Amino acid sequence: MARTPYGAVRGRYEHGNAVFRGIPYAAPPFGLRRFRAPEPPEPWDGVRDAGAFGPTPPKPPYSEAFAQYLSDPSVPGDACLNLNVWTPEPGPGARLPVLVWLHGGALTRGSSAVPVYDGRAFARDGVVLVSVNYRLGVEGYGLFPDAPANLGLRDQLAALAWVHESIAAFGGDPGNVTLAGQSAGAISTGVLIAAPQARGLVRRAVLQSGAPEVSDREKVRRMVRRMAARLKVPATAAAFAGVDRDLLLRTQAEAGRRSSPVLGGPGFGIVVDGDLVPTDPLAALSDGGAAPGVDLLMGWTRDEYRLWLVPGGLVEHVDRLGAVALAGAMARCHVGSEVPRGYRALRPSAGAAELVGQMVTDHMLRLPLHRLADARPSRSHVYEFAWPSLRPALGACHSLELGFVFDTGEVEEAVRLAGEGAPQSLADTMHASWVDFATKGDPGWPSWDATHPTRVFDTTGPHLAHGPRDAELALWTRPFVPRPASSPDRLAAVRRLRRSPVLRRR
């Protein structure tokens, strides 16, 4: 049993550790609280059972093409602002390091109930693991004239505040908290450590396949307007709050069907709001004014794009489009033709899908993470996950590293992505690096410097490489005169990609 500021909770002992699931850190965000900032939960009398995962935030299911690779369980109920704790030593006095996990899912899917995120290995190795649910999609990241922006991010901040106030009762040290996330969770992590309200709540941060970024406000507004047009209601929070929840989810899925990380398009994202996100977080972190004492562990997978393009056969479709796809990537990345020419020279045998995928990955992830490490060299450690999945065509794709970080490669949901027979030795090494970073800030390889030391996790075993992505990333710094972003032929290329029958089936 453990006591929180709102009441006592009783968990379970599993695998030698105490597990508490479904603990509310904020009130249910429905009824009068819908589209409002998170509020504290109502206190309860007696001891609340914390044996099962709490409700997950409303979200549409993955398409059939993606569901064969990704798990996304749904737990019904309104009290979706909850978290889970795995700890080896419940009770005050232990003062163990804490890792707070923010799941990925493009801010529209995912939850803390995904089996790959089981925290038993972290607890086994002396780290208190906290995993968090937060609002998703239009209810978490819609932009309205009559509601606060970034509600899902505000939920995450409320969970961090709960950890600061409560984690000592679970054996954790509130002064030694590592905030970690993957994909959208990594983006959120980077934005939060730059937020003035989060100062003092985080000592270290892990950014897996996501860089601190904000979305264009008009891009988010277009997504809301698309939904409003389909629903035939005004584009206001008050109007959306009156829409049936299932209808809202179906409409959200339909409105975002042709948007993707590779092709772009309207979608939900974190925006500058003048409050929680006062300015661009990457700039704030890079100039040294934000999170000056926060150490960083950050990196990517070698073939991020393959999870975005392989399901549904989009790799073959992009390869057939050839120059049209490359023109679309130029528009997506706002670059001139010399960048794809440089990629072609470095990868002469690559197809269009690989060139497009690697260009967009570098634009979205590797380039900003490189710049962040360059700005904070002594506080940054960088990695690349390069072990290829045993499933056909996936390579070292987006999300593949998760089963290795959590040492949960044996669960069926991890096997969906990695295939049968993933190397346990690689999980042992990678998981230990994350434990060491959360414990003492040193994952086991040199911090960033002018030689760009990068820990590579691959089939030959982890090794240190210096500047493995420098040649590609140097292409982005060469001076050029780009054609306007609104160039009609490049925009037409993007539109042709989005009208693809393959995309319509996703």
Reported as a single tens digit per residue, the pLDDT across 65-101 is: 999 999 999 999 999 999 999 999 888 889 999 999 9
Q: Is the dihedral of CA 473, 102, 129, 122 positive or negative?
A: negative
Asked if 289 and 320 sit in the same domain, the reply is no
- Mean of pLDDT values over 43-69: 96
pLDDT of residue 506: 39
User: What's the rounded Cα separation, in Å, for the pair 57 and 45?
Assistant: 25
In the predicted model, what is the mean pLDDT of the chain?
92
Residue ranges of alpha helices (H) inside 280-322 are 281-286, 306-309, 314-321
What distances in angstroms separate CA 503 from CA 305, 323, 404, 498, one per listed residue?
Answer: 15, 18, 31, 6
Phi, psi of 53 (to 5 degrees): -60, 140
Asked if 12 and 156 sit in the same domain, the reply is yes
Asked if 433 and 504 sit in the same domain, the reply is yes
Domain C-terminal end among 270, 293, 316: 293
Q: What digits encode the pLDDT tens for the residues 291-338? A: 999 999 999 999 999 999 999 888 998 999 898 989 988 988 989 999
User: What's the rounded Cα separation, in Å, for the pair 156 and 26?
Assistant: 10
pLDDT band at residue 387 under the 50/70/90 scheme: very high
Residue with tokens 């997950």: 56
Asked if 288 and 308 sit in the same domain, the reply is no
Helix (H, G, I), strand (E, B) or coil at 436: helix
Strand arrangement, sheet containing 17-24: 12-14, 17-24, 82-87, 128-132, 96-102, 172-182, 204-208, 295-301, 380-385, 453-457, 463-466
pLDDT of residue 505: 40
Asked if 119 and 198 sit in the same domain, the reply is yes
Asked if 271 and 345 sit in the same domain, the reply is no
Residue with tokens 């909850």: 82
pLDDT of residue 262: 67
Asked if 55 and 118 sit in the same domain, the reply is yes
Residue 466: DSSP 8-state: E
Domain C-terminal end among 265, 293, 321: 293
Which residues make Cβ contacts (< 8 Å) with residue 131, sequence separation at least 6?
Answer: 83, 84, 100, 101, 103, 112, 117, 119
Domain C-terminal end among 293, 310, 327: 293
What the block records as the tokens of 366 is 């590797």
Asked if 201 and 89 sit in the same domain, the reply is yes
Which residues make Cβ contacts (< 8 Å) with residue 424, sequence separation at least 6?
Answer: 409
- CATH number at 503 reads 3.40.50.1820
> Which of 497, 503, 502 shows the shortest CA–CA distance to 327?
497
- Measured in whole angstroms, the distance separating CA 472 from the mean position of its chain's CA atoms is 24
pLDDT of residue 256: 86
Residue 466's Cβ-side half-sphere holds a number of Cα atoms within 13 Å equal to 4
Asked if 180 and 306 sit in the same domain, the reply is no
Q: Is the dihedral of CA 395, 401, 403, 404 positive or negative?
A: positive
Residue with tokens 């529209």: 108
**Domain span at 423:** 302-506
Active site residues: 183, 304, 398
Phi, psi of 10 (to 5 degrees): -120, 125
Q: What digits encode the pLDDT tens for the residues 25-45? A: 999 999 999 999 999 999 999
pLDDT of residue 314: 87
Strand partners, 48: 9
Q: What digits encode the pLDDT tens for the residues 99-131? A: 999 999 999 999 999 999 999 999 999 999 999
| Element at 361 (helix H, strand E) | helix 352-361
pLDDT of residue 62: 92
Residue 482 has pLDDT above 90, yes or no: no
- In 315-433, DSSP assigns E strands to 380-385
Q: What is the DSSP pairing of strand 453-457 with strand 380-385?
A: parallel
Asked if 273 and 336 sit in the same domain, the reply is no
- Mean of pLDDT values over 412-438: 97
What distances in angstroms separate CA 496 from CA 60, 336, 389, one per listed residue?
Answer: 26, 19, 31
